[in-house]
């Protein structure tokens, strides 16, 4: 049995953060499919046995089960020694950007993309509000990356893997032309793709494409 087991599904950028870390760090791991779109995370058994928060990803390793992508990334960085700054200041910077990512960058973008891709009848006023929040967060990261190749220091860290969670999904799912509007993010995205072992979320995790609805 692989050393690491990750509960995940292809459409989840938060799960992709953990899956990408496992992949790029060369860990012995396997995905465990979570059928989110059929209500798996809302199931009482899932919440009782897998994650009381009713979310994915969930990582199993060495008899421990952990949740929240930032916690998982930090744990894997400590376990593998990879994508982790050597100094305390760099590690604090990683957490600063991971918290910004969870609170704003991924938070707004993931919600916007979910509604646009999977709930097309969403309130236009809500979508306009979210789009503005997405672009505001993206402008901050784009400006930061216009001065350096990666989020913290000169090499990729878990901060990059956190912010990269949703940026590889196709434009058809979110409608934001990243290369045109945010060229520094687009260039950074290519640098992430160039890391040996990189895979697209739909290639790395199970569950895509979604089965078409009958009728």
Please give the C-alpha separations between residue 39 and each of 42, 43, 55, 155, in angstroms, as whole numbers.
5, 6, 11, 39
Question: pLDDT tens per residue, the chain (215 residues)?
Answer: 899 999 999 999 999 999 999 999 999 999 999 999 999 999 999 999 999 999 999 999 999 999 999 999 999 999 999 999 999 999 999 999 999 999 999 999 999 999 999 999 999 999 999 999 999 999 999 999 999 999 999 999 999 999 999 999 999 999 999 999 999 999 999 999 999 999 999 999 999 987 664 43
Q: What is the pTM of this model?
A: 0.96
**Inter-helix orientation angle 183-193/124-145, to 10°:** 70
CATH hierarchy code of domain 88-193: 1.20.1050.10
CATH class of 4-83+199-204: alpha beta
Structure tokens at 154: 């000169």
User: What are the domain boundaries of the chain?
Assistant: 4-83+199-204, 88-193
Longest CA pairwise span in the chain (Å): 57
Q: Are 146 and 78 in contact (CB under 8 A)?
A: no
């Amino acid at each position: 049995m692989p050393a690491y087991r990750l509960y995940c599904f292809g459409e989840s950028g938060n799960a992709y953060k953990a899956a990408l870390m496992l992949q790029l760090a060369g860990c012995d791991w396997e995905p465990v499919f979570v059928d989110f779109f059929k209500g798996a995370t809302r199931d009482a058994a899932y919440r009782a046995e897998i994650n009381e928060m009713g979310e994915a990803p969930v990582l199993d390793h060495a008899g421990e089960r952990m949740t929240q992508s930032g916690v998982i990334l930090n744990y894997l960085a400590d376990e593998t020694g990879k994508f982790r700054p050597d100094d305390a200041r760099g590690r604090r910077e990683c957490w600063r950007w991971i918290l910004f990512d969870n609170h704003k960058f991924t938070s707004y973008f993931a919600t916007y993309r979910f509604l646009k891709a999977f709930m097309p009848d969403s309130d236009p006023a809500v979508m306009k509000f979210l789009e503005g929040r997405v672009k505001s967060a993206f402008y901050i990261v784009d400006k930061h990356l216009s001065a350096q190749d990666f989020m913290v220091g000169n090499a990729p860290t878990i901060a990059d893997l956190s912010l990269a969670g949703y940026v590889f999904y196709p434009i058809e799912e979110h409608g934001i032309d990243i290369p045109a509007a945010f060229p520094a993010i687009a260039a950074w995205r290519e640098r992430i793709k160039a890391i040996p072992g990189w895979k697209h979320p739909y290639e790395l995790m199970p569950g895509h494409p979604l089965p078409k609805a009958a009728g």
